[in-house]
Amino acid sequence: MCGDVEEEFAALADPRFYTQALKELKSAFPTAKLKRIAQDSANSIILLSCEDCGYKHGTAYMFSYVYEIFPVFTFVKDIDAEYYTVIENVLDIISVLGAKSFRIEVKKIDYKSKERAKDLEVKMGREIESRGPVADLKNPKLLINVVLTSSGAIIGSQDVPKIGGLDAFRYFNKLDAEHINRSEFKLIEAIEHFGVEIKKGERCIDVGSAPGGWTHFLLSNGAKVLAIDSALMDYDAMPPQSSILIVMQDPSKSKPFLKAENRKIELKSVKEFEEYAKKSNPFNYYDLVHVASNITSTSLLSLDGLGKFGILAIDINRGPEEAAAVAASLCTLLDPGARIIMTIKMPESKPEHYVEEARRALSGLTTEVKFAKLRHNRQELTAFAIFNASRGEPNL
Ligand SMILES: C[S@@+](CC[C@H](N)C(=O)[O-])C[C@H]1O[C@@H](n2cnc3c(N)ncnc32)[C@H](O)[C@@H]1O
């Protein structure tokens, strides 16, 4: 890229997965010198320097444990004494890159200051704007990252930030659209990280669907959903235009517990549903069919009338083998090439062990399995793979 010019990058990772992040950075940039600049309970920041690193836009998507990486423009050592140097540097970036508009994002990592990152961001943004550049919070031509640490400010720019940018939690909290829970954000992140396209009318299976974050996201994006969970879902929170059917052993017993005051939902017993599915595909009429039972105890999935599905999403709070066994039990319902997204529960130590176990368990069913520690994953990773119909057997 730049011949013998030394380039610098800043990489951010969850400190619980620092060793894994370091390992993958070393493998992606073998010639780089790496140095951890700062760490707090939620973030580690690693500075990389190398000649001709091979960094391209979108590089962050190739990592499983690094959630963001961006080119560094400069490092200002004493932030308090040099506050205006930080401002000058930001002005320099905007002018060197000839950006027509900018947005600045400030993140604090182990930097002691009473001011919140958000307040510092507004203060810096106003100061910069007062010197000429145009601020555009929605569609800026240039995104400036300022990471404040106890050893100094790292200033860089970015034109393809990962969803949420430096502070995904702040970003997600202020999204306009309604969301049901943190789980929904995991799916939003996974869809972006693995580049999954949801087509209009795409048929998806959501196992471990309650209270309904993933289903809500899939329905809101035009999909039809077969949701499976013995727990009831938040039906009221689903998109208003979605037609909903709940299949349960005995609808008369569960009806009083349904949280669906503001919408019409239909209930069928398992027997009624079996009869119905023999005559017509339920998804010709319903957008959401919730089978209110555990995947292990439902016989409905062998029904021919359900047709095939293009996405299988599994979020059941279980380890790799159990999650892979669920995928295996559903493979007759999957389209060849169906996308499988699943969360894998694991203790913090030794994630590699769980990754290997998931890889092994899924290898008989899918093509290569990819993993990511998403911002909204806690004690878990998210796995992604493509169903390979010619295999069809898990390695359990
Ligand atoms: C983390 S919650 C899922 C959250 C959900 N994805 C959302 O977005 O709201 C895990 C769910 O998995 C369900 N679950 C656990 N084992 C299951 C199984 N074998 N079959 C179906 N659901 C299961 C639990 O009942 C629980 O509701």
Q: What percent of the chain has pLDDT over 90?
A: 70
Residue 278 CA, distance from chain mean position: 37
pLDDT in the model for residue 59: 81
Does residue 211 have a cis peptide bond before it, meaning omega lies within 30 degrees of 0?
A: yes
- Break the chain into its structural domains and give their ranges: 6-172, 182-386
pTM of the model: 0.90
Q: Which has the closest alpha carbon to 229: 205, 252, 198, 253?
A: 205
Residue 218 Cβ inside 6 Å of ligand 1? The answer reads no
What is the whole-number distance in angstroms between the Cα of residue 211 and the centre of ligand 1?
A: 8
Kindly write down the DSSP assignment for every residue of 63-102, as one continuous string.
-SSEEEEEEEEEEES-TTTTHHHHHHHHHHHHHHTT-SSE
The number of the ligand 1 atom at minimal distance from the alpha carbon of 296 is: 19
Q: Which has the closest alpha carbon to 43: 61, 22, 60, 18?
A: 18
What is the whole-number distance in angstroms between the Cα of residue 228 and the centre of ligand 1?
A: 8
pLDDT in tens, 49-85: 998 888 877 788 889 999 999 999 999 998 887 889 9
What is the whole-number distance in angstroms between the Cα of residue 323 and the centre of ligand 1?
A: 11
* Size of the chain in residues: 396
What is the whole-number distance in angstroms between the Cα of residue 298 and the centre of ligand 1?
A: 14
Q: What mean pLDDT do residues 288-292 have?
A: 96
Q: How far is 386 from 336, CA to CA, in rounded Å?
A: 9
pLDDT in tens, 98-133: 999 999 999 999 999 889 999 999 999 999 999 999
pLDDT in tens, 336-374: 999 999 999 987 678 888 999 999 999 889 998 999 999
pLDDT in the model for residue 172: 79
Fold for the domain defined by 6-172: VC0802-like (3.30.2130)
pLDDT in the model for residue 2: 44
The best mutation among 182, 217, 315, 374 to test binding of ligand 1, ranked by most ligand atoms within 8 Å of the C-beta, falls on 315
Q: Domain 182-386 has what CATH class?
A: alpha beta
End-to-end alpha carbon distance in the chain: 45
Residue 7 Cβ inside 6 Å of ligand 1? The answer reads no
Q: CA separation (Å) from 341 to 39, 356, 370, 371?
A: 30, 16, 10, 10
Least confident of 4-8, 143-147, 159-163, 302-306: 159-163
Q: Which has the closest alpha carbon to 160: 29, 62, 22, 26?
A: 62
Q: For atom 23 of ligand 1, which residue has the closest CA?
A: 208
What is the whole-number distance in angstroms between the Cα of residue 297 and the centre of ligand 1?
A: 14
What is the whole-number distance in angstroms between the Cα of residue 318 and the centre of ligand 1?
A: 9
Q: For atom 13 of ligand 1, which residue has the closest CA?
A: 208
Q: Tell me: pLDDT of 281 over 80.
A: yes
pLDDT in the model for residue 78: 86
pLDDT in the model for residue 160: 64
pLDDT in the model for residue 391: 65
Q: Tell me: pLDDT of 392 over 60.
A: no
Cβ pair 48, 30 in contact under 8 A: no
